[in-house]
Chains A and B, each alone.
Chain A
Amino acid sequence: MKYLSEFRSPEIVEALLKEIRETVKGNWNIMEVCGGQTHSLVKNGILNMLPANIQMVHGPGCPVCVTPVNLIDKAVHLAMEHKVILCSYGDMIRVPGSGMSLLEAKSKGADVRILYSPLEAVNIAKENPGREVVFFAVGFETTAPANALSVIQAYQSGVKNYSILTSHVLVPPAIEAIMSDKECEVDAFLGAGHVCAIMGMSEYYPIVEKYKIPIVITGFEPVDLLEGILATVKQLENGEYRLENQYTRIVEAAGNTSAIKAIDQVFEVTDREWRGIGEIASSGYGVKDKYSAYDAMKKFKFDMAESHEDPTCMSGDIMKGKIKPNQCPNFGTKCTPVQPLGAPMVSSEGACAAYYYFNMITVEEVI
């Protein structure tokens, strides 16, 4: 497959691993921010191929994992009490809320639909003029343009029974939050390739300078990841810190300007609560006043009980890179993808699920 097979070539991978082994001298903790990168590292067995003195630390870049439990409860509330057609990306529906997940709500009769695009939800709204349709708009900067477009489309075509329940979060403030944690031991970051494809590179220069830390914007295939790791290690070994772009085939310095335009039209930066991490200032998107008729938070009354987390879930420490999933006492025992305590065990991009599915060899060794 063009653009894929060359980035999965065993020969290139072996050559990169050799160069990494020859380059690395110190002990380095490198955080891959994006859950897609975590997934690829584990799924391809890369974690077990790296030299022992390179530790990959798994970051908070799984949008499903950081969506606050309160918002999941709100989605369930909309589906169960307001009887809306609640549309969501598939990953979201198994994530446990305080009372139940959207999947459980569906089994209790709620109209929950799994979609691949919010634009489909606008069509559902057009086809069901007598019902309210809400799209559960979660994600990082990557999914924001499509969610914004859905609002613009609904606005322009006069669809009034459509709204979005937003939980957009942003990568740069998350990196800052991790770096400003006193216990942070991260030496460098692999930047999230697809986020930068939308937003470009400019947001990361100040972070590199402020924390004197290498950031290498990196893709998702094995060759991408190893190139990113190699570039990071070279900087670390030379005592340098720069922003580099490994993912040049996708990421341009200015990002995707029309996508950014759509985001700016509908969203504004706001404070956000991150599940497991807490509130981070200016770390997400909210719907601008002009489009408040499409903001489910304003459109509906949420007369519901207070949300609560399972206190034994350690996902916050995992997402901040303080512990690995298999160091959690509940991992694989009290917490599995079938009976998850927290979101990282559910989402395909969650670090716990990635370890559960693909990495049990290490788990057994640890336990």
Chain B
Amino acid sequence: MQLSCPLPKLDFDTINLGHGSGGTLTSQLLDAGVFKLLENELLNKKHDGAIFNLDGKVAMSTDTYVVSPIFFEGGNIGDLAINGTINDLAMCGAAAKYLTLGFVLEEGLKMTEFWEILLSIKAACEAAGVNIVTGDTKVVERGKGDKIFINTTGIGTVHPKAKIDAENIKAGDKIILSGPLARHGITIMSHRQGLQFESTISSDTRPLNKIVLSLLDEFGEKIRFLRDPTRGGLATVLNEIAAGAKLGIDIAQKNMSVEEEVSGACEMLGLDPMYVANEGLFVAVVDATVADAVLYRLSEWEHGAMASIIGEMTTDHPRQVIMKSLIGGRRVVNMLPGEQLPRIC
């Protein structure tokens, strides 16, 4: 993260309750920080809402980000909040255009940290070509939050060729995974209290809108379904796809890539990479006739070197995901109930 924009001169070096009062301090914080940094025609009006036109079918999505720690290898809560909502829209086949940005700040948050998060938000918006058009800032007392929570809501137009719907999925369709599993979750786990192993694993947080829209341009409705396996991981998403399509899924463990360091960390922590969160990864269910072509396009993408066809839809065992293990055994992949807890020995 390049801190090219210096922190504006403010009277306080930490967030205090006044910054959420709606009065002078709020204005000062917003004018010097948010509005200046993220400026665009709609945001500059500083209204409570934004007024704009959108043509065609529209998709909308919202998500709230409470990640702890707020800074981690490969990103922070700021770019995570932008990329996450952009990606949720991309999974609808939509190009995110406008985002709202809501902050819940905890009294005592360092201004330098807030500024660094804002800079990441700006960089993420620019990278994905979206604008923040309205927002909200609240401050809660110390101990009533966890430094910073962010909500983003996004709106965008659906690609004219997109027909993303689980009901369109057919037996024989191929399932493509866009990259290696479990990077974000393991990055966060390695930061959490008590985990002291050192690693160079970094989060995969990134916007997926451009690659997804380019695939829709080329393959249209042959891209049947898209999902990003965030919380709950790949296993949960595959189960949701199987349930939505009322079909079974066969996958092969050997076709799913996990980076060696991530795999090692999973072994140590007793976690299954299929249940660990990702932030810059997607699963595409595609017509079998275009699967190889989609994979080729993905391989040209800067983050797609490890993309692979991991399995296919089947009329056997409807609503069940069955995996062929590395050694050739077959087993069911179930949804994760609650949080994945590490084993003890």
Binding site for B on A (CB under 8 A): 1, 4, 8-10, 13-14, 36, 42-49, 63-64, 89-94, 113-117, 120, 138-140, 142-143, 194, 222, 336-338, 347-349, 356-361
**CB under 8 Å from chain A, chain B span 247-296:** 260, 263-264, 267, 269-270, 272
Q: Top 7 nearest A-B pairs by Cβ distance?
A: A45-B329, A90-B341, A89-B344, A13-B327, A358-B331, A338-B337, A360-B332
Task: Please tell me if B328 contacts chain A, counting CB pairs below 8 Å.
Answer: yes
Q: How far is the CB of A363 from chain B (nearest CB, A)?
A: 9
Residue contact A357 to B194, C-beta cutoff 8 Å: no
Between B322, B332, B333, B342, the greatest number of chain A beta carbons within 10 A of the residue's beta carbon is seen for B332
Residue of B nearest to A50 (CB): B329
A9 CA / B128 CA spacing, docked (Å): 42
Partner of B325, one of A43, A90, A336: A43
Q: Is the CB of B329 within 8 A of A48?
A: yes
| Complex-state Cα separation, A42 to B331, whole angstroms | 7
What's the nearest-Cβ distance from chain B to residue A134, in Å? 16
Nearest Cβ on chain A to B266's Cβ, whole angstroms: 11
Which of B267, B272, B327, B331 is close to A359, meaning CB atoms less than 8 Å apart?
B331
CB-based contact A337/B337 at 8 Å: yes
Whether, in the assembled complex, B334 has its beta carbon less than 8 Å from a beta carbon of chain A, the answer is: yes
| Chain A residues whose CB sits within 8 angstroms of the CB of B341 once the complex forms | 90-91, 93-94, 114, 348
A157 to chain B, nearest CB (A): 18
CB contact between A92 and one of B194, B333, B344 (< 8 Å): that residue = B344
Measured CB to CB, the nearest residue on chain B to A64 is B344
Known: A1-B263, A91-B342, A116-B195. A44 touches B325 (CB 8 A): yes
A142 vs B341: C-alpha distance when bound (angstroms)? 19
Contact A117-B194, Cβ < 8 Å, known A48-B330, A348-B270? yes
In angstroms, how far is the closest chain A Cβ from the Cβ of B28?
A: 37
- Provide the residues of chain B in CB contact with A336, threshold 8 Å: 337
Q: Say yes or no: is B178 at the interface (Cβ < 8 Å to chain A).
A: no
Q: Which single residue of chain A is at the shortest CB-CB distance from B344?
A: A89
Chain B residues whose CB sits within 8 angstroms of the CB of A42 once the complex forms? 331
Task: For B326, list chain A residues within 8 Å (CB).
Answer: 8, 10, 44, 222
Q: Which residues of B contact A114 (CB under 8 A)?
A: 194, 341-342
Give complex CA distance A110, B263 in Å: 34
Q: Which residue on B lies nearest to A4, using beta carbons?
A: B267
> What are the residues of chain B within 8 A of A348 when measuring CB–CB?
270, 341, 343
Residue of B270, B324, B326, B337 contacting most chain A CB atoms (<10 Å): B337
CA distance A316 to B194 in the complex (A): 34
Q: Within the assembled complex, what's the spacing in Å between the Cα atoms of A287 and B264?
A: 34
B47 within 8 A of A: no
Interface residues on B, range: 20 to 34
Q: Which residues of A contact B270 (CB under 8 A)?
A: 348
Partner of A45, one of B267, B272, B325, B343: B325
Judged by a CB distance under 8 angstroms, whether B345 is at the interface is yes
CB-CB under 8 A for A116 and B331, given A64-B344, A143-B344, A348-B270: no
* B243 CB, nearest partner CB in chain A, Å: 14
Partner among B267, B324, B343 whose Cβ is within 8 Å of the Cβ of A349: B343
Other-chain contact of A361, B195, B264, B322, B337 (Cβ < 8 Å): B322
B320 within 8 A of A: yes
A sample of 29 cross-chain residue pairs with beta-carbon separation below 8 angstroms, ordered by A number, consists of: A4-B267, A8-B327, A9-B327, A13-B328, A36-B345, A42-B331, A43-B325, A43-B331, A44-B329, A48-B331, A64-B344, A89-B342, A90-B341, A90-B343, A91-B341, A92-B344, A94-B338, A94-B341, A114-B194, A114-B341, A115-B194, A116-B195, A120-B194, A222-B325, A222-B326, A358-B331, A358-B334, A359-B331, A360-B332
Q: In B297-312, which residues have CB < 8 Å from any A CB? A: none
B36, CB-defined interface residue at 8 Å:
no
Which of chain A's residues have a CB closer than 8 A to the CB of B267?
4
Residues of B within 8 A of A143 (CB): 344-345
Are A222 and B327 closer than 8 Å at their CB atoms? yes
Provide the bound-state CA to CA distance between A349 and B344, in Å: 9
Which residues of chain B have C-beta atoms less than 8 A from A142's C-beta?
Answer: 345
Q: Give me 8 other A-B pairs in contact (C-beta within 8 A), A90-B343, A359-B331 excluded.
A: A44-B331, A47-B329, A49-B328, A89-B342, A116-B194, A116-B269, A142-B345, A222-B327
Q: Closest Cβ of chain B: how far from A160's Cβ, in Å?
A: 22
Per-residue interface assignment for chain B, residues 113 to 140, with 1 indicating a CB less than 8 Å from any chain A CB and 0 otherwise: 0000000000000000000000000000
CB distance from B259 to the nearest CB of A (A): 11
Q: Kindly list chain B residues whose C-beta atoms are within 8 Å of the C-beta of A194.
A: 345
